[in-house]
Amino acid sequence: MSDIGPELPDDEALAAEHALGVLTAQERAAAEQRMARDPVFAAEVLAWRARLAPLAEEIAPVAAPAGLWPRIERMLAANDNSQGVRRRLRFWRAATLGSLAVTAASLAAVVFLAARPPEVITQPRPPMGPMMNARLMSDGGQPLFLAAYDPERKSILVASLVPPGADPDHSHELWLIPADGKPRSLGLIDPGASKAMPMSEPMAEMTTEGVSLAVSVEPRGGSRQEGPSGPLAAVGKLARL
Amino acid sequence: MGPPSIATLDPLAELMSQIAAGDRSAMRRLYDATSAKLFGVCLRILSDKDESEDVLQEVYLTIWRRADRYEAERASVMAWISTIARNRAIDRLRARGPLAYAEPVDELQIEDEAPRAEALLEASQDGQALARCLDELDARTQGAIRTAFFEGLTYEALARRLDAPLGTVKSWIRRGLLKLRGCLER
């Protein structure tokens, strides 16, 4: 019987439970954050995922809906440059502080706590030029910010899906990365807030389909250098609605 | 000579490096080879075709962006992407609430927890070892671990499902997992 006998030690139990999938949303988020800062714990989780993964072999395949591939294919283009943007932006990061790197990773995890589903922002007025929007995703593919470009008002509307009050020691700064690859700051966005960020005329002209938006984690008040100084929390690309 | 690496045995491993380089036709081949499996994984947890389709779309976009993170020495491609699918489906299930679990839907013909004989025959070496070790556990513990894995239930939902106290279910699983690890390491 299994009513007696030793149990897994607490830390490994947590890793195994996270891999098995029995944790609540909040516990899952905490475990993901811990994986980002604790390599030993992360290795335990990966080892348990590997131990349990063969169980999935028992699940019978079910043909995916016919319309799904075309939809995925259309989205590949809008998603294919985030690695390129990350690489290019590394150039702009003169110094990366360890604490900031952890923060960027934990932001992704903490978003699980936000109950709001990622919805496309509703446009306040009918469009004049091309309306565009972007989902800014974390490294792990979690949407952290939603943005829409309003060509009539020449501003970017941005909504933060990061829970309000999260990460009070840092500021989140939104950047426009136009074709020249040089990031331009659009301003700061508080966790959980939505706001319109006005753009200068030259910046509005650079805001064309396919340009990237990124949010970096900065010291309070924003980056003190020309480009982002902290790690990127999320990256996305503007596409026509 | 050591055993051949997973990369040489895994026909999908080469696709991952092509996908990491931005090759969309490789992505299409991966989708064709794996989407039915991953849809099965999502459906098993969510029991909802529309939600499973949404999750599957996110899963493939994640693979597209993160293909460069795949490490062949750690896991087979199928194991890696199945884990992504399971995690995303569980996140979606959690968004319904801590006690949420999928109501089995007849039309989806979800099979019960017992391992299928034919699945075992097709199972990888790791799969056979895991099945053998799960069989060493008592039926109740094995059932709890299987249900947790296949349906993505929280401890609390699992306790309700099994009609047992929460602390008891936790102990079953923690003891069971310890035994499982010991058996797999033998």
pLDDT tens sequence across B68-83: 888 887 788 999 999 9
- Could you list the residue range(s) of the whole structural domain that residue A144 is in? 77-240
A109 and A225 together in one domain: yes
**CA B53/CA B38 separation, integer angstroms:** 10
Count up the domains in chain A and report the number.
Answer: 2
Q: Kind and range of the H or E element at B44?
A: helix B24-46
Residue span of the structural domain in which B157 resides: 114-186
Which of B48, B59, B171, B178 should one mutate to test binding to chain A, selecting the residue with the greatest count of A CBs within 10 A?
A: B178
Residue A94 in contact with partner chain B when CB distance is under 8 A: no
Same domain for A38 and A86?
A: no
Domain total of chain B: 2
Whether A30 and A91 map to the same domain: the answer is no
Helix B24-46 to helix B139-151 angle, to the nearest 10 degrees?
A: 130
Do residues B29 and B77 both lie within one domain?
Answer: yes
* B residues 147-186 closer than 8 Å to A (CB): 148-150, 152-156, 158, 171-181, 184
CA atoms within 13 A on the CB side of B41: 28
User: Does residue B32 sit in the same domain as residue B52?
Assistant: yes
Residues A86 and A125 in one domain: yes
| β-bridge partners, A195 | A158
Residue at A87 is within a domain:
yes
Are both B92 and B132 inside the same structural domain? Answer: no
Q: Of B49, B61, B95, which is closest to A141 when you measure between CB atoms?
A: B61
Q: List, as ranges, residues 20-59 from A with C-beta within 8 Å of B.
A: 20-25, 28, 46, 48-59
Placement of tokens 């089995």 in the chain: B104
- Non-local (6+) Cβ contacts of A81 within 8 A are A212, A237
Distance between CA atoms of residues B148 and B173, nearest Å = 9
- State how far the Cα of A15 lies from the Cα of B39, in Å rounded to an integer: 26
Instruction: Read off the CATH number of the domain in which B176 is found.
Output: 1.10.10.10
Residues B22 and B93 in one domain: yes
Domain contains A131:
yes
Contact A196, A155 (CB under 8 A): yes
Residue A70 lies in a domain: no
Query: CB neighbours of B76 closer than 8 A, spacing ≥ 6?
Result: B6, B10, B12, B13, B124
Q: Which residues of A touch B24 (CB under 8 A)?
A: 73, 76
Percent of chain B with pLDDT over 90: 62
pLDDT tens digit sequence for B100-153: 765 544 444 444 444 555 555 566 788 889 999 999 999 999 999 999 999 999
Establish if B132 touches chain A: CB-CB under 8 angstroms: no
Q: What is the dihedral of CA B124, B130, B132, B136, to 10 degrees?
A: -170
State the CATH number of the domain containing residue A128. Answer: 2.60.40
Determine the average pLDDT of the residues in B36-50. Answer: 95
Q: Is residue B108 part of a domain?
A: no
Q: Is the model's pTM score more than 0.80?
A: no
Amino acid in position B3: P
pLDDT tens for the 241 residues of chain A, in order? 445 678 777 888 999 999 999 999 889 988 888 888 788 898 999 999 999 999 998 899 999 999 999 999 988 876 554 555 555 454 444 334 444 444 555 555 555 444 444 444 444 444 455 778 888 888 767 778 888 888 888 888 888 888 777 778 888 999 999 888 888 999 999 888 888 888 888 888 888 888 899 998 888 888 888 888 888 888 888 888 7
Together in a domain, B65 and B138: no
